Structure 1
Amino acid sequence: MGSAANAEVRAYIVAKLKEFGVEVEEQISRHLHGDNTIDEATSVIGRTAGTANTKAFALMAHFDSVPYGPGAADDGSGVVTLLETARALKAGPPLRNDIIFIFTDGEEAGEVGAQAFMRSARAEQVGLILNFEARGTSGPSLMFETSAGNGWQIRELARAKVHARASSLTFEVYKRIPFGTDFTSAKRRGLKGFNFAFIEHFSWYHTRNDTPEHLSLASLQNHGTYALGLARHFGNLPLDGDLTRPDVVYFNSLGPWLVYYPMTWSGPIAWTAAAVFLAMVILGLAREHVGIVELLGGMLALGLTAMVCALSTLVALAFVYGPRKLFVQYTTDITHLPDLVAFHHNTLYGWAFAALTMGVFIGCYQALCRRIRVESLAAGALAWWVVILAVMQRFLPGGGYLAAWPLLFAALGLTISFLRRPGAASTPSRVFMLGWLALPGILFLAPAYHVLLATVMIMTAPLLVLVIVLMLSLLIPQFPLMTSPNPWWLPAGALAVAFVMLALGVSSQGYTAERPRLNCLAYGLNFDTGRAAWFSSDEKLDEWTSRFLQPNGSRAKRGTIGEYLTGEEREYWKAPAPVAPYQGPQATLVSDTTRPEGREVTMRLAVPDRPLEVRVRLVSDNKVHWARVYDQQVPGGGKAWSINFRGFPAAGTDLKLLVDATAPLSLKVEARLLGLPSFPGLPPRPEHMAPEPNTIRRPWPFRSDHVFLIRTFDFPGEAAGLHHPR
């Protein structure tokens, strides 16, 4: 946001829409937040007119990217999807409703462009909205979020026959994750709609490897199928009425087919599953297939086996992740990733942990089957399903189906099995029947594990493999047949597969251009002192950063960087740097007038170096009564007063202040730029290294490849003239 590259992308979008014959306008927004931060963003709005518009159908994607990578997936994929949809719609028959294409700016800075659109009168014209995102570079595009009262939306999503990958469980999980997208602003505005994203290969997300070459064309095609298909479907439906209907439970069944039913049905379905389980237990006790003690033993067996599987996975995770890194992450903040080394193999490791769990689980149950009857082990395991169903119904009602239907079918299978006489030998047909009735659980849980693995990733693997434990618990009656004639071939084979997969991952964790080593190097220049410095938040220096922070082989030193980042008192790796030819912040006095209420000073602020962000701080013993910028009144304050510009205009801006006339006025202007300066003798970053993205180690006050320029201006009170830099 605010960069020259951002302006180029915006111009390209405008040109393409005009080429397609789409009406285009640019929406410039300058919004003041409560913390005296002003965001400036310019979004692009396109519109095609309908034949008998009710309300518009809108598609949204953001064209800004993070400064750590090109943003081909996030969110170039969404931009391309909207552009190609616009082209296809203009080439086809006209739709009933208007179609609005919203290309937002500043999503990465906090949904700036989306919030501006939602504050405008244009949002009143929208009946339904789609948002397209990416949190990776591959994988199926998932409809992972919708709005409240979604009954009508989900029904029409199914009728549109775009075969969307969707689950109310995914929506329930996402609601509890502290992240947002432009769709968050749409929901806050009260709009109905859907949010789509593909999320696999997270390790390239927000990095320099988020390039067109790494973007999955299949994922892009998924986006396009949804966008065009849903535009044609909803573009011909009346959208001007009340679209709110009671929420529904929804999920994919065989393949992409979407099943949905009212959320109010989930309770009766859960009670039915629990009743079938209870009937199974009563029948099993009555016909002496199970005993009370054995049933409790079966429950205890699954609980202990699950713990062993989780602990085994924890040990394996520590092996591939690094014990110290894992411990620090678990004991501080699990969302603060230390690096991305293991995440390059997230899918490989995730399924290795699944194979490990399979081997441990079946091995444990082979031993248990010699002491407890298989029927008791299976029935005791299903008791845990009842507990999980109750918990999900209470806390994740949209995901209760994931426990209800497997429990219902598995309990029904054991009930039928208990109709045979006690002591009768198991027959292949009986085992086959139980296998078929366990199939719904496998069809639900295996895809759920894959999606959850991509969502919460391997750092949650010790908990995530409990999904595999539950899936295997449905197959306990099949274990004697599956493992004959040798009871240990299956667990041994599963463990061997797990070890091979783990070994493949660990052996390929070396640093390459595809899996770069991440490091941090920033530059600061203080125009007041004439000094410059390199600094880094890395724990250890590598062979590249040491060239800057250990010049001429000197000993690396740590020091504070408050001279370049005001108020930052922690110590980092730091070394003197050459002074780069930046022009730095500039302030020209426009007017200086003394009034009865105080001194009114107007200055022209400019930073020719095209910063991403500019902050102006009051540093003298004075008071700002109020400030004005972009014709907006900004609250004042004492010596801690400041104003922050995100998306600072290239031409600069005027800032007017009312301050005390009897006190000196000094302002410190801080600018944050992207891109390190180059100097003779200092090498560029090697191909096997990359600047750390914002997906790791979030608490630091600066990021790699950022430049911080700082200059103080004194305004002694002359009626005219230039700034007075120190």
Structure 2
Amino acid sequence: MGGWWRGLLVVGLLLAGFAVKGALIAPPALPNAGEFDVDRAVARLQRILGDQRPHPVDSDAGDAVRDRLIAELRGVGLQPLVRDAVDCSALPGSRVVSCSRVRNVVATVGAERPGRHVLLDAHYDSTPTGPGAADDGIGVATLLEVAAVLQSSPPPRPVTFLFNEGEEFGLNGSSAFMSGDPLARQVNSLINVEARGVTGPATMFETSEPNGPAISAYASASTRPFANSLSTDFAKLIPNYTDVVELKPAGWTILNYAIIGNETRYHTPGDTVASLDRRSVAHMGSEVLGATRALAGIPEPAAVHADRAVFTDIAGRWFIRVPIAVAATAVGLLLLVSAFVAWHQRAYRRPLIVAVAMALSGTVAAGLLGFALTSMRAGDFWRAYPLATYLGIYAALLAAMTATWARWGRGIDLAQARPAVWLLILLLGAVTSIVVPGAMIFFLFAPAIALLGIAAAHRSRAAGTVLNTVAIAVQFVMFAQLLAQIEMLLIDGPLWAVAPLAALSALPALVETDPQRLRPTVAASLVGMLALCVMALALPRSSSERPAAFTIDYFRDLDRREAKWAVATKQAPLPAGFPGKWSRGILPYNGRTRWIADAPDLDVPLPQARLIDGRNEGQGRRVRIAVSPGGANAVAIRFDERTMLVALGRPGQLERIPTKGEPDKAVVRCSGRTCEGFVVEALLADRQPIEAEVIATRFGLPPQGRTLVNARPVNAHPQYAPDSTISLDRVKF
């Protein structure tokens, strides 16, 4: 199996591959994005955002952004309409109901044309934390430029542009569109545009089901595809809260796009036009324009190719799709052939056990190293320079796998090792595909090429070697692209999450080495791992490009007469010399662990919740409560966990509340100017008195918090929530 240098070469190439895999998902450079003018799109976004202050739902800043958006729409020749509504909605399975007043802006190109509409959706509100240039400014800019292009070359059927408000607070805008806008009944296709970062390719990560019609349109339209069916399956399994949650039940043909690179600027003051990658805007625009034209060219997309497909791109260059029935049959046949080959080559015992041991040892080693690193340096210390940390994890994985092969691989020749490895990969692929069928696409091509190589090796050793090398390369590229996506998506870790997939990426290559000559390789891997870990632990945890999360709150418990300062840092330590005496803890307004210090009694909002009506219904009762934020920007009522809630919302619009779920205490919340005097209705299963907490949030700190703000590290900013003043009182009804 070669000399000692071969092991060093293989491990070196694998580690180098892990280092450069990010290039597989880099946003494509599109200096000429076709008809989509990226400079014009970004200029429009700059004008709409103005001074780039946060513009949350139902706010003065939101009004200003909406006015400028309407002016831009009129500038491209459209006649936008504003739909004003108050909406209360809840995410599926959630025990939180969110209410706000929203003003959706809608405009249609080709309204006079026959046919049902293609709907393009983006939200124009931001979180109260940042200006939202990417989330969802990229959607606003994309829709405006697509509208301008379509105005000059109208599509075969109408295309409606929905700029909704309130997505960030609880999908209120899309919920109001579905429940009250007559245009919703004229739609049969949807393209949604989102962001979870400021860079990266326009990834198509969610479709309607069955996905055949959507994927058919996507395949015909995309010039630089970034999409795979494993990701779309995971989108159904994990929390995925975009407007599509509200729009999907209509049964439309759906394509959902997002950029997800550099999440450190997501929902932060750093989500600015300057930080938004122009390449991402160009790619998003060209992809959405193409998909819009493809869908608009099909009168009833849902009637086309109604089956399901598995699919993937390769480095954003090629797109492969296979009907799911064909893919399932192929995986089954490959597994049977692989099992037969392993039996014939006597590879199903010790060789297979060693292959399993290699994958397990690498995964365990990577997990243990990740645990050790996070124990030595708390918080997301890899936030600014994640590559060094992940390369250390991969080096540990390769060292463990190589050591296992060196110890127990002796006596196993290539004719046994290769069938054992591919049998293991296919076995794991078959099991994974039962849970997430979209994974099948990743277990078709490399195993098929490898099995051809094993067969060819009986006649020509050179042919077998060439085919096996191609299989190893295909396997690595496809899995490495997934690894790059996982690293980008799971920015908070856990670090070990990459290990199982990385082990399968490396396994076919490692068994090509001579197990008797791997000591230098194991030693070099360990040295590399130590060097990378030292580097990871020494590098700054934040940078100007990738800032740390650092949110400061002032909290006052009005009922218990306690006041605290609180700092959320994602478990990272406070900087040396940060003023105050701090300890870790949890405050009543939020279950997140924070740094806490005593604070003086300062001016805070004084929220109120007043019972205005109550009547018995059957064994339970229906109550109405008027709330006041007391000068805050948002107010919430959080019910005691013993309260037997059936439904919650506003009169005439109640949401069913699951008996179990997250959070333990059901919440109804309101954001914006409409919350003063807002009436909440609750339907109860019994007639017991209600105990609840009323919580008010005012964006910004009291003047006395300036000292803490000034002491915040330079490369740090609030994330997900702004610095806030929060007050809590307890009430009974």
Q: Structure 1-normalised TM-score?
A: 0.76
Contact 1:55 1:240 in 2 (8 A): no
1:134 CA drift (Å): 1.7
| Distance (whole Å) between structure 2 residues aligned to residue 443 and residue 171 of structure 1 | 19
**Which residue identity lines up with residue 672 of structure 2 in the other structure?**
F
Deviation track 1:226-284 (CA, whole Å, cap 9, x = no partner) reads 111222222233137745701111112475222212111122211321243244345xx
SS at match of 2:513: helix
- The more displaced of 199-208 and 374-383 is 199-208
- Aligned residues between the structures: 648
Query: Which of 657, 673, 676 is the equivalent residue of 1:649?
Result: 673
Deviation (angstroms), 1:506: 2.6
Matched, 1:320 2:373: yes
Write the distance in 1 (CA, Å) between the matches of 2:705 and 2:357: 63
User: Match of 2:239, SS?
Assistant: coil
Does structure 1 residue 575 correspond to structure 2 residue 598? yes
Name the counterpart of 1:380: 420
Q: 1:377 to 1:447 in 2, by over 3 A?
A: same
- 2:488 alignment counterpart: 454
1:205 aligns with: 266
CA distance in 1, matches of 2:479, 2:666: 52
Structure 2 distance, partners of 1:392, 1:657, is: 45
What is the aligned counterpart of 2:714 among 670, 685, 688?
Answer: 688
**Whole-Å Cα distance in 1 between the matches of residues 548 and 166 of structure 2?**
28
Q: Which has the larger radius of gyration?
A: 1
Q: One-letter code of the match for 2:355?
A: L
Paired letter, 2:193:
F
Unaligned segments of structure 1, at least 5 residues:
326-338, 421-425, 551-555, 593-600, 619-625, 636-640, 659-663, 695-702, 716-726
| SS of 1:322 mapped into structure 2 | helix
Select which of 41, 56, 71 maps to 1:15.
71
State the 1:607 CA deviation.
5.3
The answer for the alignment partner of 1:475 in structure 2 is 509
Q: 2:176 aligns with which of 116, 122, 126?
A: 116
Deviation for aligned residue 1:399? 1.2
**Is contact 1:691-1:705 (8 Å) kept?**
no
Give the Cα–Cα distance (whole angstroms) in 2 for the partners of residues 607 and 150 of structure 1.
Answer: 44
User: Aligned equivalents of 1:404 and 1:681: distance in 2?
Assistant: 59
Q: Aligned residue for 1:441?
A: 475
User: In 1, distance between residues paired with 2:596 and 2:694?
Assistant: 24
Query: Does structure 2 retain, via aligned residues, the 8 Å contact 1:138–1:200?
Result: yes
CA contact (8 A) 1:51 1:95 kept: no
Q: 2:364 is matched by which residue type in structure 1?
A: L
SS in 1 for 2:83: strand
Contact 1:39 1:645 in 2 (8 A): yes
Aligned to 1:365: 405
SS in 2 for 1:100: strand
Change (3 A) 1:61 1:532: same
Per the TM alignment, residue 213 of structure 1 is displaced from its structure 2 partner at its CA by: 3.1
Residues 282-328 of structure 1 show CA distances to partners (whole Å, capped at 9, x for unaligned) of: 5xx4xxxx4x3x64111111111112211221233234333686xxx
1:209 and 1:674 mapped to 2: Cα distance? 17
- My pick for the range that moved more, 111-120 or 273-282, is 273-282
Q: Which amino acid aligns with 1:414?
A: I
Q: Using a 3 Å threshold, how does the CA distance of structure 1 residues 560 and 378 change in structure 2: closer, same or farther?
A: closer
For each residue in 1:340-396, what CA deviation from the matched residue of structure 2 results, as whole angstroms up to 9, or x when unmatched?
332333344334433443344345435555432222122222221231132133222
Give the fraction of aligned pairs with identical amino acids, expressed as a percent.
Answer: 21
Whether 2:284 is the aligned partner of 1:223: answer yes
- Flag the 1:195–1:391 CA change in 2: closer, same or farther, 3 A: same
2-structure distance, mates of 1:667, 1:369: 64
C-alpha distance in 2, partners of 1:8/1:169?
Answer: 41
AA matched with 1:4:
D
Query: Which of residues 230, 252, 260 is equivalent to 1:169?
Result: 230
User: In structure 1, what is the Cα distance between the partners aligned to 2:444 and 2:591?
Assistant: 53
**Paired amino acid for 1:303:** V
Structure 1 stretch displaced more, 296-305 or 316-325:
316-325
Match of 1:195 among 256, 266, 269: 256
From 200, 214, 227, the equivalent of 1:153 is: 214
Q: Provide Cα deviations, 1:596-637, integer angstroms capped at 9, x if missing partner.
A: xxxxx999976574512354999xxxxxxx9997887999xx
Which of 135, 141, 144 is equivalent to 1:74? 135
Does the CA contact (< 8 Å) of 1:150 and 1:247 recur in 2? yes
Matching residue within 153, 158, 171 for 1:98:
158
Contact 1:585 1:670 in 2 (8 A): yes
Please give the alpha-carbon distance, in whole angstroms, between the structure 1 residues aligned to 2:317 and 2:602: 59
Quick one: which amino acid aligns to residue 79 of structure 1? V
CA distance in structure 2 between the aligned counterparts of 1:657 and 1:179, rounded to whole angstroms? 28
Match of 2:634 in 1: 612
Shift of 1:523: 2.2
| Further displaced range: 108-117 or 200-209 | 200-209
1:521 to 2:552 alignment: yes
Would you say the 8 A contact 1:557–1:575 is kept in 2? no
1:29 to 67, 82, 85: 85
User: Aligned-residue CA RMSD in angstroms?
Assistant: 4.6
Give the TM-score, by structure 2 length.
0.75
Structure 1 residues 210 and 280 mapped into 2: Cα distance closer, same or farther (>3 Å)?
same
SS for the counterpart of 2:188 is strand
In structure 2, the CA distance between the partners of 1:513 and 1:473, relative to structure 1 (3 Å rule), is closer
2:267 partner SS: coil
Which residue, out of 692, 697, 702, partners 1:672? 697
Task: Measure, in 2, the Cα distance between the counterparts of 1:453 and 1:461.
Answer: 8
| Distance in structure 1 (CA, Å) of the matches to 2:624 and 2:240 | 39
Structure 1's 239 and 608: CA in aligned 2 closer, same or farther, altered over 3 A? Answer: farther
The structure 1 residue matched to 2:382, chosen from 342, 345, 349, is 342
Conserved? CA contact 2:295–2:301, under 8 Å = no
AA aligned opposite 1:87: A
Note closer, same or farther for the CA distance 1:23–1:568 as it changes in structure 2 (3 Å cut): same
1:107 aligns with 2:167: yes
State the 1:456 CA deviation: 3.8
SS of residue paired to 2:136:
helix
Cα distance change on mapping 1:340 and 1:220 into 2, 3 Å = farther
Could you tell me which residue of structure 1 aligns to residue 436 of structure 2?
Answer: 396
Look up the match of 2:99. Answer: 39
Q: Distance in 2 between matches of 1:460 and 1:321?
A: 10
Q: Give the corresponding residue for 2:500.
A: 466
CA–CA distance in 2 between the matches of 1:517 and 1:443?
31
Kept in 2: contact 1:66–1:108 (CA 8 A): yes
Instruction: Please tell me the residue identity of whatever aligns with 1:693.
Output: Q
- What CA deviation, in whole Å up to 9, does each residue of 1:425-474 have, x standing for no partner? x65x6423421343332332222222233234573443522323223333
Q: Matched residues in 1 for 2:504 and 2:327: separation?
A: 20
Return the alpha-carbon distance in structure 1 between the equivalents of residues 587 and 341 of structure 2. 69
Shift of 1:44: 2.0
Residues in 1 aligned to 2:559 and 2:494: alpha-carbon distance in whole angstroms: 48
Deviation at 1:520, TM superposition (A): 4.6
**C-alpha distance in 1 between matches for 2:75 and 2:294:** 25
Alpha-carbon contact 2:135-2:197 (below 8 Å) kept: yes
**C-alpha distance in 1 between matches for 2:214 and 2:542:** 46
Distance, in Å, in 2 between the alignment partners of 1:75 and 1:571 is 29
Deviation string 1:676-705 (CA, Å, 9 cap, x unpaired) is: 1213983533343645534xxxxxxxx662
Counterpart code for 1:11: D
Distance 1:80 1:302, change over 3 A: same
**Secondary structure at 1:9 match in 2:** helix
Residue deviations 1:641-667 (CA, integer Å, cap 9, x gap): 999451232594465999xxxxx9999
Superposition deviation, residue 131 in structure 1: 1.1
